[in-house]
Structure 1
């Protein structure tokens, strides 16, 4: 039964679990399969051709695992490869991009910050989105070089992480931003640190809840919602360090299994 096949999600590493969490909360009866492509993380410093090839590899794996819909839980993969994926695969594919629209719509200072990878900020899709909302708002773009690597190494609470973040955030605060858009699915794991660094008037925005809502909408419109009455089963695969993936999922109440997989 097609409706009861799993939702497939992939990211260039463990960061996309921030999207997976939102989807599993909003759609508790859905089965999911998550691919953490940590072996090749971060995608943000790779070429468009490499990013596209890796995205095809991950999508093919999820299709082979009978997924009914694919979520690209990676800003860089979305902005560089979603057109190719949609033209090659005949199943719904949902992407993710920095949530500039709500920040630009609500800013009082008319200045917002976007923290993202080089691969996202230099993409054609990001440029189009940025141009669309920058007419009355100044968008300060900062490449978060090194942040994904530290998260993938399990060093979220390290001094190195704090110093790096501080160097990226301070110039934006000097420009009087009142919204900080997180343009990478790894970055929501930095929110506890960011909240200590940012004044109260700066709002942090990420795309997790919006992607989960969009997933529900697309599943509903395609008659693909699960018919299961029980809680869904969740398998999270990594081709990197299993312990780092397990550590970042600690405290999560959803029943899940973490496995090593070479893909």
Structure 2
């Protein structure tokens, strides 16, 4: 197998990264994709950065062992904690996530932007640096959203409990004048409809999965790594948590999944 026929590896703390995987599939229909849900260590958002870094390195090594020609860290928290060390260790392109603050600022008329993310992302030096690079006179409201990741992991995208959670953590930024909301966690696009219901039609909602997918395509093209196959690509899935639990969530978020493989013990265990 030549280098450009190898698969692309994608991982997240759970199933949220499927929001990025679907964008990758849309722009790279012929590539084979590997996806790891590190559900046995979910959520990343409330864990120490050092722990997340070790999990990211471990999952990255697994993807490389499966022949990945590039790795997408489809998790904002893991990107903030581990992208630098992953790029230093791995000899393949490593693409990460970043809250879409720049496009959000460009859209905002009130100059108040809300960033909905995990506690880990919002407390990271990477996020502080991102806000610091924003030269426009804009107020950035950072709002942690505990419980959202867990609801998506359960495949619970519309129950009264989920609606209440979404309202609880969306309204504070709106009450302070935000007219643009950034979804700073890859789980949150699966709640975008509920967020829009709370925010109303005049509020912009910004997610970055499509931008990451386009960036990945450009990088693969520049490095001569795009597949030459014309057949549709396939997806393979692993989970470090109970495979049957991940399978139920995947059935909701990625219809057509037939099998979720358990991550091998050497990669699934905590560090």
User: 2 CA distance for matches of 1:37 and 1:248?
Assistant: 16
Q: Is the 8 A contact 2:250 2:257 kept in 1?
A: no
Q: Which runs of 4+ in 1 moved over 3 A?
A: 255-258
2:52 corresponds in structure 1 to 51
**Residue 141 of structure 1: CA displacement?**
0.5
2:199 corresponds in structure 1 to 198
Q: What's the CA shift string for 1:132-156, capped at 9, x where partnerless?
A: 1164100001001111112112222
1:235 corresponds in structure 2 to 236
Q: What's the CA shift string for 1:73-108, capped at 9, x where partnerless?
A: 000000110011111111110000110010012211
1:249 corresponds in structure 2 to 254
1:259 corresponds in structure 2 to 260
- Change in 2 beyond 3 A, CA 1:18/1:210: same
Q: Is the 8 A contact 2:107 2:204 kept in 1?
A: no
1:26 corresponds in structure 2 to 27
1:116 corresponds in structure 2 to 117
**Residue 239 of structure 1: CA displacement?**
2.8
User: 2 CA distance for matches of 1:155 and 1:229?
Assistant: 36
User: 1 CA distance for matches of 2:141 and 2:135?
Assistant: 10
**Residue 243 of structure 1: CA displacement?**
1.1
Q: How does 1:205-216 map to 2 (within 5 A)?
A: 205-216=206-217
Deviates more, 1:154-163 or 1:75-84: 154-163
In structure 1, stretches of 5+ residues that fail to align are none
Q: Does 1:80 align with 2:76?
A: no
Q: Does 1:177 align with 2:178?
A: yes
1:35 corresponds in structure 2 to 36
User: 2 CA distance for matches of 1:183 and 1:69?
Assistant: 22
In structure 2, stretches of 5+ residues that fail to align are none
Supply the RMSD in Å over aligned alpha carbons.
1.2
Secondary structure, in 3 states, of the residue corresponding to 1:45? Answer: coil
- Change in 2 beyond 3 A, CA 1:258/1:18: farther
User: 2 CA distance for matches of 1:112 and 1:132?
Assistant: 15
Q: Is the 8 A contact 2:101 2:182 kept in 1?
A: yes
